[in-house]
Chains A and B, each alone.
Chain A
Amino acid sequence: MISPATIERLLVAALAAFLLSVPWSIPALINSFWVSVIAEILIWSLLAASVNLLFGYVGLLSFGQALYFGFGMYGVAIAISDFGWSFWPAFALGIVAAVAMAVATGIFAVRLTWHYFAIITVVFSLIFYFLALTNKWLTGGDDGVNFTLPATFSIGAAQWSFTDPAFQYLFILAIVLLCFWLMHRLVNSPLGHAFLAIRNNEVRASLIGLNVYLLRLIAFALAGFLAGVSGALFAFFGRYASATYMFYHVSGEAVVWAIVGGAGTLFGPLIGTAIFIVVREIVSSHWEHHSLVVGAVAILVVIFAPRGVMGLWRDWLARLADRRVPASVEAKLRTES
């Protein structure tokens, strides 16, 4: 008998195998354009994961995660085009810039909760969006900053760089999987449990000795890290950075992806992101008002599956397990741990 936990493990393994095979299977099955669509899904899923870490685990709804995405993006672009840095230092600068910005704004933002918190995150992201838009000497404003991407690894004469589409895809996949693995470890760790405790009941959390303010700030910085990695990868992927990606509707989309996929679950954001980007790619080539479809799907999910796609899935698994219990009690002990 297969338990729900085993089913999930098998599915994750199948998903991993599929993602690994993408550079070869997708061009053979569809065309190579979809390889970059999937790469884009992977990158954006980290931004959705950043929303999810705050909303699904600490209970803070941020509508400003694009700000840290933008800082990751510009960190990379400025390091390469202005400072002439190589790949890895540029990557590091993007992430550091995003986390530093998250800490600096988080110091003020996490004093607030609920709608006050949502509003202050929007305000911060708008301030820096307009600053990026007007300071063209640094950011290029709407036009953005274009750059030529240095090689990722070079050993002697041998080089691996994003000019090879398969390498580009696999590098993005490796970084995204690493981030999801870290998040998996985080949410099952004592720190992750403390986050959940705060989301559940902040007064009680403080009475058992948890420093609610500091823990929220740590979560905010970690979410800034995820958004920063996402932005840095997107800069590498597109070879440019632009202020348009710091606008709050980018943050809003990430919120929709996270909630539709299932906030408070590890892979929910990835699934939500995949659904919306695939729908966008398919519908937008036939119909210019594709965002209507996006809106309709979002509304339907929020009404009929408030815990998102992952919630539906978990309910279905639970029902499956329930139905089995009476039969299996007779036969033998349940095998689920």
Chain B
Amino acid sequence: MSDPVLRTEKLSKRFGGLTAVNGLTFELAGGRLHALIGPNGAGKTTFFNLISGLLAPDGGRVFFCGRDITGRRPHEISRLGIKRTLQMKSVFPQLSVADNLWITGYAHGGFLHPLRSAAKDHRTREKVELVLEQIGLTALAQRQAGTLSYGDVALLEIGMALISEPRLLLLDEPTCGMSPAETERAVAAIRELARVIDIIIIEHDMEVVFEIADEITVMAQGTILASGQPRQIATDDRVREAYLGRDEDEDYIEEGGHAQA
């Protein structure tokens, strides 16, 4: 029982000359909503890819509940109970919202019956109804996922994470591109989730981060810069320097540069 939910040991990943994740040692005790923040290119998403198996690490190990999962394939890791959302919202665009949830809820059960009717699987269908209500998409259940608004797709992704009953959930910028109302709904759903499962969330919206996180880890250039409670992080000088403490003028300059480019 003493094993942490997630532990990485000197985890590394290089892309050519770039070291995206550099000897990262991390431990998630569990029972807390953990936020992962850091400037662009800090290696946050790569870190998620290494945990979920989409990338194989160049060095180091990943342990899930004491079990070595380094180098396992995505579907194996998913079946152990680590689920995730993607930064680029990723659903099944030609399936209906309900079918997106249905296949997600069914897939982790293992055996895929080749001849039984999928429509008559009442157990999973009931779960689908429940999740649709939780994420507020009941009215859109029969819509093709590809025709949804960006915010609704993000909500659907959270719903897909929900229905698969994860033990550890990795959320990669879940509220990115959402309207304020949608963000509120998503944050409420995440809060609700965090009571029963362990969550690591990558988020750029600092309002959201400081509102929901119990613990924050700051990454920069592939390593951990600081880790602690929101209050400590907010006042940490190194963090301020690397991330939070940017001059507003500088931001304006950068935004102006983007607009011109």
Contacts and interface: CB of A to CB of B under 8 A. Distances in A.
B104 interface: yes
A208 interface: yes
Contacts of A189: 112-118
Contacts of A207: 52, 54, 74-75, 78, 83-84, 86, 90
Nearest to B93: A200
Contact of B95 (A185, A186, A197, A209): A197
Contacts of B107: 194, 197, 205, 208-210
B118 A208 contact: no
Given A193-B118, A203-B86, A208 B108 contact: yes
Contacts of A215: 112
B99 A209 contact: no
A193 B103 contact: yes
Given A188-B119, A189-B114, A189-B118, A209 B103 contact: no
B91 interface: yes
A317 interface: no
Contacts of A190: 103, 106, 112-114, 116, 118, 121
A193 B84 contact: no
Interface residues of A, number: 26
Interface in A171-201: 182, 185-186, 188-194, 196-197, 199-201
B160 interface: yes
Nearest to A182: B115
Contacts, number: 99
B240 interface: no
A291 interface: no
B163 to A, nearest CB: 9
Given A207-B52, A208-B108, A208-B164, A196 B94 contact: yes
Contacts of B52: 207
B79 interface: yes
Nearest to B105: A208
Contacts of A191: 112-114
A25 interface: no
Contact of A188 (B79, B86, B90, B117): B117
B112 A204 contact: no
Residue of A204, A205, A212 with most chain B CB atoms under a 10 A cut-off = A204
B116 A201 contact: no
A207 B103 CA distance: 12
B106 A204 contact: no
A190 B120 CA distance: 10
A192 B118 contact: yes
A211 B114 contact: no
A243 to B, nearest CB: 33
Contacts of A205: 92, 107
Contacts of A206: 54, 73-75, 78
Interface in A203-232: 203-212, 215
A207 B77 CA distance: 8
B168 to A, nearest CB: 13
A186 B115 contact: yes
A201 B121 contact: no
A197 B52 CA distance: 19
A221 to B, nearest CB: 11
Contact of B92 (A182, A201, A211): A201
Of B91, B103, B119, most A-chain CB atoms within 10 Å: B103
A321 to B, nearest CB: 14
Contacts of A209: 75, 78-79, 107-108, 164
16 contacts: A186-B114, A189-B115, A189-B117, A192-B118, A200-B94, A201-B92, A204-B92, A205-B92, A206-B73, A207-B52, A207-B86, A207-B90, A208-B107, A209-B108, A210-B75, A212-B75
Interface of A: 182, 185-186, 188-194, 196-197, 199-201, 203-212, 215
Given A189-B117, A201-B91, 19 more contacts: A185-B115, A189-B114, A190-B106, A190-B112, A192-B114, A193-B95, A197-B92, A203-B54, A203-B74, A204-B90, A204-B91, A205-B92, A206-B54, A207-B86, A208-B164, A210-B75, A211-B73, A211-B75, A215-B112
